Structure 1
Amino acid sequence: MSGLGFGVEPRAPYAVDPSQSRGRLVDEPDSPTRTPYQRDRDRIVHSTAFRRLKHKTQVFVYHEGDHFRTRLTHTIEVAQIARALARALRLDEDLAEALALAHDLGHTPFGHTGEDQLDLCLAPYGGFDHNAQSLRIVTELERRYAEFDGLNLAWETLEGLAKHNGPLTTADRQPIGKYASKGLPVAFLSYPGIWGLDLHTYASAEAQAAAIADDIAYDAHDIDDGLRAGLFKIDDLRGLPLIGGFLTAIETKYPGLDEHRTINEITRRLITAMVEDVIRHSLANFDRLKPRSADDVRNAGETCVTFSSEMTAIDKAIKGFLFPHMYRHPAVMRVRRDADRVVKDLFDRYFLHPDMMPAEWREGLDKTDDTVLARRVADYIAGMTDRFAVQEHRRWFDDTPELR
């Protein structure tokens, strides 16, 4: 495994150096025992938003089974993969881990269903974006510390959180990519230091490792959950590249292996193959680009921590399979429709009757400004767990769906 970079020391020249951090929005004394990114990781883990991930949907609602992924278990799995990639690529493992642990903090109850519905509800007020909401949580909504709102994370952590999927704007601040048509999310623009995060450049290699770890976890673990939920069968996977070959190899080596172990063999082999591909291809990218600093990675003009073209095609094929067989399966869509109604009903009720929200959410609220009111309601709903959203719906309505 040494050829893939495992166990190699010291840190690569293109890794982020914690001793050279650009600091925090609110100055704080350095910790005598932890690097800035270890400190950030610990603050994220101890945050209220992180704990709530335990009861937020990945694909299946919380009561559908104890063994399906939640946002929390997914996040832990992403962090493990991100840390493995960072170690092999000689990056700062703590920064990669912190970014992986924070990447889904802004998710709503009921997964992407809740996000889509809140985006519709907020369409007249700038829309809703879970990635931007993650930044909003760690810079404003967490209220734990005496001297500042948010978690006051290091610049490198905020940068990676904002743009781990690539640049958000051109050098003259024009939105690009998915933000080209409707502009940057309001939740980004509300952060006073947003333009200081250099939105026109790529993020650090550590942030790129966290982003691709998310892709790897999604592919492997959604296959696992989909099989265990009975949304599709093992035989349905035979036509998929790479996975079909895994199945043949497993059946040859372990004839008669039970389904539970077969599923685990498929997912563990897929994770291993994807991780090793990222390591090989990224090391080749670094060798080709020869970055000598973390800023060289940011200004490389391309993503450095990537799949090979062959694995990119495999990733696309897996997602192409999962979309109709899992994310748009009739059973999942039925629950999505009910979850849509829960979120919309709650938004409409709190928007018309903000006094129904808890006192801390009404504090300082200007009820005459619809934009401010809508954003406050969305912040409150986005922070809910699946369970609490259903509980609140039952509190105010007589026809709460079962979400089954």
Structure 2
Amino acid sequence: MIVRDGIAAVFRAERARIVATLIRATGDWDLAEECVQDAFAQALETWPREGVPRRPGGWLTTAARRRALDRLRRSAVEATKLREVAESTGYEDDRDDGGIDDDLLRLIFTCCHPALTLEARVALTLRTVAGLTTAEIARAFLVAEPTMDKRLVRARRKIRHARIPYRVPPAHLLPERTGSVLGVLYLLFNEGYSATAGAAPVRRRLCAEAIRLARTLVALMPDEPEAVGLLALMLLHDSRREARTDASGELVALPDQDRSRWDAGRTGEGVALLDSALRRGQAGPYQVQAAIAACHAMAVDAESTDWPQIALLYGQLAKLVPSPTVELNRAVAVSMADGPRAGLYLVDALADELAGHHLLHATRADLLRRLGRTAEAAVAYREAASLAPTDAERRYLARKAAEPARAG
């Protein structure tokens, strides 16, 4: 069991990088994913018997490449592809130099080609790079799983038939891809920071990979303020990661977090990056969100939070990216600045748009509790718990549902 858990951990950590390497070598997305799965199956059979190799990521990469080579030989693919794969079967090509010559970044830019629709770009990257399931991506886009599956199939087919190149585009073409790439990294980080499914509320590997790729993008485009703003946003949120759960893995709400556990180094770096981006005078949605995160990060305690400023920033964000989710967050800020009744008015206006969203019901429950309407709050908390995507959130909301019931 220990070996199997180790194999699963290595697979989660290395999967995207190996898939990206195989796509670069073969140009075949489906083949790459299938061969990585085959390598994982081979590891499950071999490692318990022979032991975990010294470089498990390299072992998996080599196994996947050899599998791809066999598949290409059997299907009589052109000799150039065979040579490309054969020449890269050793461990020496396994590297992470953190530079622009990065297979994962190439993969993201390929996924974000303007020939694809915006939703297809984001969804394909989340599936291929982040390893999210089709169901997880469907939830993020609020669509049915079969619908998302069809979008992913169409996107891959378009890349293959249009012969979209697997590379970071030249400098003069970067701007037309920037928005999509930023959107992908943003959603990748969000899925790590607030998982849409599973037992764990935080998927640290996804957070770390999103931050690493954001750093690479900033190195590639140092004069793009939104890229810098996105990296600042990630760091400011990630600085609170250790305090978001307690020793038993249960969620801890922001006002109740032990701020001594916040990472001061990440906070400082995030604020410095935000300041450098804002000085360019081109504030976009990622910079505004980073400014909101900075308001929380700079407050010495929950009571010192500048909620009027946060409410104003959410109002600005709503103009840049109109969204019911942004409006829900603005309602929370308004409730803290002007009282729960003002917030509840805004939340109730979103009832139709966010009826199936657990955060709508959780927010409404909290406002009802603050207004002393404990019985209604308990009902809303239970509704939120029934819709929550992760085990930790369901437990947290169930506990909150019990509190006002006892108080009443």
- Indicate the TM-score class for this superposition, using the shorter chain for normalisation: under 0.3
TM-score of the superposition, structure 2-length normalised?
Answer: 0.26
Look at both structures and tell me which one has the larger radius of gyration over its CA atoms. 2
> Which one has a larger percent helix, Structure 1 or Structure 2?
2
